[in-house]
Chain A
């Protein structure tokens, strides 16, 4: 966010490589250590103990060594992700990339403090260790004491607070913050004039909006919920989506299928198999976003490659979590594989 927005496009092309070249070089070495599909397949086939043994030889080795229960696996994976974010902060200091990547976790922490400040009963939720903002300062900023986080964050927190206070119910903070997160991320990408990151952020907004719309209808959310929850900036017009929320089912699905995401939604809307309906939206939307990421390889030497690497690592961590937790909870191999099917792993993990 400290980046000069008025850099001309022509200068950018020439600046890109000197600015990001070294970081990209280091990322290339880390890309080489990602798990390949054969290894993932072996993990799916093995028992939990063997999974850990397989992973000992990888980047995950030091973090997962000796893990036997779910909590240790979770802690190990989080520590690994933390190490990746530390790498990112080290190699991309002074650029927008850390801001772009940390945003999600900063919003997570903001949500936690906002929820606590609303004073709704419940246990204190977990903070994320991957945010870029100091949590104590964040807490005091949410309390309304200014002057510690700078005008950008303080203004943002104030807006979030006002908007979520206007809505009833415990879901308000999540509803508003998730939407603002997606819009802010798009704004960062737009400020940087990175076409691929803008594309990715817009696609992420579309996917999130579709998920909200489909799930919200199943859960019977009221129409005003969609006006609060759907984010602007995607390729699908927000106001049209809000209008769609009240349509009868056949008209609703017909209009969704007519959008550019129709192919992705076909299974979700029409499949007879309940398992398919349940998992295909998440899986297909992940696959769709990963395909967007694959497009970033063309910009081989810019910040996009670094973002791609980070997102793929996050995806890999999620994938490992699905496999390892699945093993620990006795989920059968075919069920695990169905959730991870085809490009989710093949396209997502191989560099």
Chain B
């Protein structure tokens, strides 16, 4: 019984498809999900900050320079998604990827996909709130940046985790 399961698992590991998708297809799916998550999150997050920033700039156009970092910071999650997607193609020999390994690549992409999606949106909200500090005093930019930067750390962690998981998957 145990032997049979082990044999079946062994067989599945060697099989070129898993759940009807090839390893190549799973890996591409994972890369796409990673970027969809990061990219969507960043787009929404940046929209939030830029909405508020545009209001501030209506009142005082000189604040543009100091608001720029706050505007840009939710964009990093999109970059992480892109990095993940590209790393999938660089790390793995996609043509030879077994179905199970392809599935593992897909799972490894999920931390970036979800964490970046959510963190970018909330980072956008945080950055928008923090821009009130810049609105009051331009010199407060340093402090204002700390708040969204704290959110950023979790996006970075997700990227680190994803890359680490990539290294553990047999090529």
Residues of A within 8 A of B (CB): 14, 17-18, 21-32, 91, 300-301, 351
Q: Do A30 and B55 form a contact, CB below 8 Å, given A21-B128, A25-B135, A300-B129?
A: no
Is B56 a contact of A26 with CB atoms below 8 Å? yes
Q: Do A25 and B53 form a contact, CB below 8 Å, given A30-B59, A32-B135?
A: yes
Question: Which residue of the partner chain B has the closest CB to A300?
Answer: B129
**B57 to chain A: closest CB distance in Å?**
8
0/1 per residue, B117-150, Cβ < 8 Å to A?
0000000110011011001110000000000000
Which residues of the other chain, A, contact B55 by a CB distance below 8 angstroms? 21-29, 91
Q: Do A301 and B56 form a contact, CB below 8 Å, given A17-B47, A21-B48, A21-B51?
A: no
Residues of B within 8 A of A (CB): 44, 47-48, 50-60, 124-125, 128-129, 131-132, 135-137
Is A17 a contact of B48 with CB atoms below 8 Å? yes
Is B59 a contact of A29 with CB atoms below 8 Å? yes
- A30-B59 Cα distance, complex, nearest whole Å: 8
Which residues of the other chain, B, contact A18 by a CB distance below 8 angstroms? 47, 51
**B61 to chain A: closest CB distance in Å?**
11
Is A28 a contact of B56 with CB atoms below 8 Å? yes
Top 5 nearest A-B pairs by Cβ distance?
Answer: A25-B55, A21-B51, A29-B59, A32-B136, A300-B129
For A24, A28, A300, which residue has the most chain B Cβ atoms within 10 angstroms?
A28
**A108 to chain B: closest CB distance in Å?**
30
- A29-B57 Cα distance, complex, nearest whole Å: 9
- A128-B169 Cα distance, complex, nearest whole Å: 73
Which residues of the other chain, A, contact B128 by a CB distance below 8 angstroms? 17, 21, 24, 300-301
Question: Which residue of the partner chain A has the closest CB to B47?
Answer: A18
Which residues of the other chain, A, contact B52 by a CB distance below 8 angstroms? 17, 21-22, 24-25, 28, 301
Q: CB < 8 Å: which of A31, A32, A301, A351 contacts B48? A: A301
Is A25 a contact of B56 with CB atoms below 8 Å? yes
Which residues of the other chain, B, contact A17 by a CB distance below 8 angstroms? 47-48, 51-52, 124-125, 128
Which residues of the other chain, B, contact A31 by a CB distance below 8 angstroms? 132, 135-136
For A22, A23, A27, which residue has the most chain B Cβ atoms within 10 angstroms?
A22
Which residues of the other chain, A, contact B135 by a CB distance below 8 angstroms? 25, 28-29, 31-32
Which residues of the other chain, A, contact B129 by a CB distance below 8 angstroms? 300-301
Chain B contact residues: helix, strand, loop or mixed: helix
- A28-B129 Cα distance, complex, nearest whole Å: 9
Which residues of the other chain, A, contact B60 by a CB distance below 8 angstroms? 29
Is A29 a contact of B56 with CB atoms below 8 Å? yes
Question: Which residue of the partner chain B has the closest CB to A29?
Answer: B59
**A87 to chain B: closest CB distance in Å?**
10
**B111 to chain A: closest CB distance in Å?**
24
Question: Which residue of the partner chain B has the closest CB to A19?
Answer: B51
**A236 to chain B: closest CB distance in Å?**
34
Is B125 a contact of A300 with CB atoms below 8 Å? yes
- A14-B48 Cα distance, complex, nearest whole Å: 9
Which residues of the other chain, A, contact B136 by a CB distance below 8 angstroms? 28, 31-32, 351
Is B59 a contact of A21 with CB atoms below 8 Å? no
Which residues of the other chain, B, contact A22 by a CB distance below 8 angstroms? 51-52, 54-55, 58
Question: Which residue of the partner chain A has the closest CB to B63?
Answer: A29
**A272 to chain B: closest CB distance in Å?**
43
Is B51 a contact of A25 with CB atoms below 8 Å? yes
**B117 to chain A: closest CB distance in Å?**
13
- A301-B44 Cα distance, complex, nearest whole Å: 14
- A17-B59 Cα distance, complex, nearest whole Å: 18
Q: Do A28 and B51 form a contact, CB below 8 Å, given A22-B58, A300-B125, A351-B136?
A: no
A-B contact pairs, 10 of them (CB 8 A): A18-B51, A22-B52, A22-B54, A23-B55, A25-B131, A28-B52, A28-B55, A28-B136, A31-B132, A300-B129
Question: Which residue of the partner chain B has the closest CB to A24?
Answer: B52
Question: Which residue of the partner chain A has the closest CB to B49?
Answer: A21
- A26-B44 Cα distance, complex, nearest whole Å: 20
**A312 to chain B: closest CB distance in Å?**
14
- A29-B132 Cα distance, complex, nearest whole Å: 7
- A31-B131 Cα distance, complex, nearest whole Å: 12
**B44 to chain A: closest CB distance in Å?**
8
Question: Which residue of the partner chain A has the closest CB to B134?
Answer: A28
- A26-B136 Cα distance, complex, nearest whole Å: 11
